[in-house]
Amino acid sequence: MKHLQDPLEAASYIEVVLEEGDPKMLVKALTNIVEAQGGIDRFPAQVKQCYEQLYLMLSEEGKIEFYCLSKLLDALGLQLAVTVKLV
């Protein structure tokens, strides 16, 4: 998982998972990236809270809402994309 420390690798990984459309895979991918970055405890409290909320959303009933956005964008000829943030 060390390769997921590289933002380009992490972005590519998330892109593939988003294309699959499986919320459980997205949860696992995000967890893998967070762990590769040193674990959730190294992030500020606000980021931890967002991660936990997203984890719950994708793990439970909310998963449908997240992927409904993806399906709507697809119908509009658009897609979600993850890119490396320019600093």
Supply 81's token pair: 């994309």
Domain assignment present for 80: no
Residue predicted with more confidence, 76 or 32: 32
* pLDDT of res. 61: 60
pLDDT in tens, 58-67: 776 656 666 7
% of residues, the chain, pLDDT over 70 = 92
pLDDT in tens, 49-86: 888 888 887 776 656 666 777 777 788 888 888 899 88
Task: Write the CB contacts of 13 (distance below 8 Å, at least 6 apart in sequence).
Answer: 4, 29, 32, 33
State the amino acid at position 79 in one-letter form: Q
What is the distance, to the nearest Å, from the Cα of residue 62 to the centroid of all Cα atoms in its chain?
Answer: 14
Task: Write the CB contacts of 1 (distance below 8 Å, at least 6 apart in sequence).
Answer: 32, 35, 36
Domain assignment present for 21: yes
In total, how many domains does the chain have? Answer: 1
Q: What mean pLDDT do residues 23-31 have?
A: 85
How wide is the angle at C-alpha 71 spanned by C-alphas 28 and 23, nearest 5°?
15
By residue range, what is the domain housing residue 37?
A: 2-75
